[in-house]
């Protein structure tokens, strides 16, 4: 009875994973579920993981890790058998995705290629991230340590996250921090990832504006008027009776 229940549960999870791929991958529109099951690496990786995870929980030796190793060689996606993954995970492309042993992933999460849910140092116990439902994580993002990413959050591409992420927020940068776009938080799985704020560029723009303001104030204090955004610099002249070389 236990075996039949496990198989039925696995079949339901696979159907949900395939449905997630059809919903969230534009390349899957009009493609049959059979073709997705046969040719999508993310689906293969999840199927292998769900089998390996069931064996891991049952205490079966060697086989769970062997399945995980074969899956990584086949798909380029590395998922530890101990990781707990909810329904409807969609791994787009998937090359370079790494999900650690104590990672916890909720339902309807989307991961793009190169995402790492990793640990820090050599600590034991819970050392990988917990990702709640409906989270989207952009390409190359690194989530490190036993942090929690709140429901509905979005992580920008190449973001490094080492602290908890509030629900329904968008995080970018290194280290990652919440941002707004045009005064509001980006919403939905199709947020404009290309035009998310660049925190380094914003800091440089703020510094340039501050320098321009200080130059303007300096010009006022010295009785000079600027003809443009940058004050004209008067060339130095040698003292009377002396050559430029000081001779």
**Residue 126's closest CA among 100, 164, 94?**
100
What residues of the chain score a pLDDT lower than 70?
A: 1-2, 180-200, 224-247
What is the pTM for the complete model shown? 0.74
The answer to whether 77 and 71 have CB atoms below 8 angstroms apart is yes
With 0-12 CB in 10 A as exposed, 13-18 as middle and 19+ as buried, what is 199? middle
pLDDT of residue 220: 83
User: How many other β-carbons are positioned within 10 Å of the β-carbon of residue 231?
Assistant: 16
Segment 57-81, tens digit of pLDDT: 999 999 999 999 999 999 999 999 9
pLDDT of residue 101: 95
The secondary structure of residue 214, as a DSSP letter, is H
The residues pairing with 161 across neighbouring beta strands, listed in sequence order, are 143
The CA distances from residue 20 to 98, 109, 209, in Å, are 20, 9, 46
Between the CA atoms of 12, 126, 130 and 171, what dihedral angle is there, to the nearest 10 degrees? -150
Average pLDDT, the chain: 85
Question: Residue 68 and residue 72: Cα distance in Å, rounded?
Answer: 6
């Amino acid at each position: 009875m236990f075996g039949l229940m496990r198989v039925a549960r696995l079949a339901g999870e696979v159907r949900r994973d395939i449905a997630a791929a059809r919903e969230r991958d534009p390349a899957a529109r009009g493609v049959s579920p059979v073709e997705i099951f046969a040719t999508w690496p993310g689906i293969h990786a999840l199927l292998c993981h769900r089998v390996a995870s069931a064996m891991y929980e049952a205490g079966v030796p060697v086989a769970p890790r062997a399945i995980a190793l074969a899956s990584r060689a086949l798909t380029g996606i590395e998922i530890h058998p101990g990781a707990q993954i909810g329904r409807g995970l969609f791994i787009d492309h998937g090359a370079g995705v790494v999900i650690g042993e104590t990672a916890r992933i909720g339902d309807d999460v989307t991961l793009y290629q190169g995402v790492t849910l990793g640990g820090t140092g050599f600590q034991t116990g819970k050392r990988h991230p917990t990702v709640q439902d409906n989270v989207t994580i952009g390409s190359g993002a690194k989530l490190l340590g036993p942090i929690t990413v709140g429901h509905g959050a979005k992580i920008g591409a190449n973001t490094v996250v080492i602290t908890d992420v509030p629900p329904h927020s968008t995080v970018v940068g290194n280290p990652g921090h919440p941002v707004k776009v045009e005064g509001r938080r980006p919403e939905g799985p199709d947020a404009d990832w290309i035009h998310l704020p660049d925190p380094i560029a914003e800091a440089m723009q703020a510094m340039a504006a501050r320098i321009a303001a200080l130059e303007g104030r300096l010009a006022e204090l010295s009785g000079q008027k600027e003809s443009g955004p940058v004050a004209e610099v008067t060339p130095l002249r040698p003292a009377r009776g002396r050559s430029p070389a000081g001779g």
